[in-house]
Structures are given as structure tokens and as C-alpha cells.
Amino acid sequence: MTLTKTKGEFKKSARIVSDYENDLIFEQPRDGLVQQTLITYENVGNGMKKTEITRKFTSTGDYNDHSMVSILPNNL
């Protein structure tokens, strides 16, 4: 069995180290980037918990984060 190593080249800006949790998930503003969304589903006692976090980038190089949590109950 022969193992091959894949070479890669990183051309995007790196994420930053931050105390703000969303900065550990999403990229920082860059040209052409408009929006990023992370959706997670988690089993909880009452059903399925859906968490959606969206980062929208502005034309001024800033961003706004928005979070939404919903519970899809077991008794549907």
C-alpha cells in the first residue's frame, strides 16, 4: 500500500483568534464575500433543535451576525 501526500496552497485570508465565538466559525470580510450561514441540528429532550447563524457582509468591510433557534417538537 502506497500513501500519497496531497499538496495544497492556501490563498484566502486566515480566520482570526477572537473571544467572539462567531469569529471562530466565519471568515473575516474579503472582496466578493456576501454572506455565510451555519446550520446545526441537535437532538434535545423535546425534539430537534435547529440553530442557524448567518453573517452578512457589508460593502464597507464590516459584518452583521444574526442567530435564530427553533425547536421542532417530537409530538408532530
Q: What are phi and psi of 22, to 5 degrees?
A: -65, -25
pLDDT in tens, 28-65: 899 999 999 999 999 999 899 999 999 999 999 999 99
Question: What's the sign of the alpha-carbon dihedral 71, 28, 14, 4?
Answer: positive
Global pTM reads: 0.70
Q: 480566520: which residue's cell?
A: 15
